[in-house]
Structure 1
């Protein structure tokens, strides 16, 4: 093995050793896969758990390692996708191959993860930082998940997750969803709203926590996005785990989410998109 191969292997082993989820509630934990969160639903050690979102590509081994630290060798009952963008489904095929489990997504997202349609190219004109400028080069064609993919039930229930319900939150993508649990106000918002300014690489790096609208470079229907944020705010979530950024809870979440809902056009929509 030459020096480059040795360094690459050592780097991978280092990150594998540090792949560990962070607990939010006793049955909710998340693992940050570089720029995006994957979420574990189920108490530590249980044999009844579900993975929400799958991060970017080439993160499957680290996600598996984080899962094994929380659940041992027990595989999830299913994978739920909030939507089909590359940073949420990048490792989905590898994880489904490894665990041999079904993947669920909203029916309006099916074409994007079965090779029938591509998402629009990222919009660099929204400004805000390096990630926006890079967005036109992000993948728009996702891996074909036809072997594993299933549409979520029409009744709003979530497979294998009692007490949770699906909230259709279009805008960022046509079939974007959030998951909500009425019993304690726990919300998994995907990218309907997030807690970091995702357009800025510096903000992503330091993880400055604040409620923001969906990533602007990948949001193409701002009218629907606003309606979705207003609907989620009306649920009065007590804790939110978002697709990007750190979890938020309590009064800070309530205040900032309601401010975003009330002033969405000013706070979230790029100025040239308001015209």
Structure 2
């Protein structure tokens, strides 16, 4: 198994292609530029089987319907943000996109609690990591020593909490109780910017000294 980072849209939101041994893949956070993402997937002859969303801010969901419709695959989201997909106020597009509202169809699967998710050949542990948004999820792949952390934890930083449903203390609790307990060599794949490791963030992240 392997992963590929594909920055998309004006905010360079990281979409990830989580690829298995048989070229099946899971699309994580298809935020924008659906045609570009579609081209990358086709050129590599990948076979998407699902879309996982770390959360439902506009820059992480902009190409959801395009990917879902072209590949005929289901979308997964946390229950606390199930109604954000088609609500421009909640997903932030009304505020930041200057009238270009982002509205997507409802998700196919609603995640209600932490669990282990099996999709095709992939086994994924779901961590609820609210704070940046109330339904933020992190997806942990134990066999790959990797966690897809969305906008919860970044290289040297943490997610913003000044958007609807954000909570700074809750974010710090999520990071410390759900992510920093992972092995130090766990790769952290954030929603923006470069990857890091749990060990690196324990040592160097100034926000985690609080």
**Structure 2 length normalisation: TM-score?**
0.83
Pair 1:66-2:40 in alignment: yes
Q: CA deviation at 1:119?
A: 1.7
Pair 1:27-2:2 in alignment: yes
State the match for 2:168 in structure 1.
222
Matching of residues 185-264 of structure 1 within 5 Å:
185-195=145-155, 211-218=156-163, 220-231=166-177, 232-237=179-184, 238-249=186-197, 251-257=199-205, 259-263=206-210
Larger radius of gyration: 1
Pair 1:152-2:128 in alignment: no
1:51 to 11, 18, 27: 27
State the match for 2:84 in structure 1.
112
State the match for 2:18 in structure 1.
41
Unaligned runs of 5+ residues in structure 1 are: 1-25, 123-134, 196-210, 264-275
**C-alpha distance in 2, partners of 1:186/1:110?**
25
**C-alpha distance in 1, partners of 2:163/2:114?**
28
Matching of residues 102-181 of structure 1 within 5 Å:
102-115=74-87, 118-119=89-90, 136-138=95-97, 142-146=102-106, 148-152=107-111, 154=113, 156-160=115-119, 162-181=122-141
Contact between 1:189 and 1:243, CA under 8 Å: does it hold in 2? yes
Matched residue pairs, number? 203
**C-alpha distance in 2, partners of 1:216/1:51?**
25
Contact between 1:236 and 1:254, CA under 8 Å: does it hold in 2? no
Distance change in 2, residues 1:167/1:155 (3 Å)? closer
Contact between 1:104 and 1:151, CA under 8 Å: does it hold in 2? yes
RMSD: 2.7
Contact between 1:165 and 1:180, CA under 8 Å: does it hold in 2? yes
Q: CA deviation at 1:178?
A: 0.4
**C-alpha distance in 1, partners of 2:25/2:140?**
16
Unaligned runs of 5+ residues in structure 2 are: none
**Greater share of residues in strand:** 2
Contact between 2:154 and 2:195, CA under 8 Å: does it hold in 1? no
Contact between 1:40 and 1:49, CA under 8 Å: does it hold in 2? yes
Contact between 1:112 and 1:142, CA under 8 Å: does it hold in 2? no
**Greater share of residues in helix:** 1
> SS of the residue aligned with 1:230?
helix
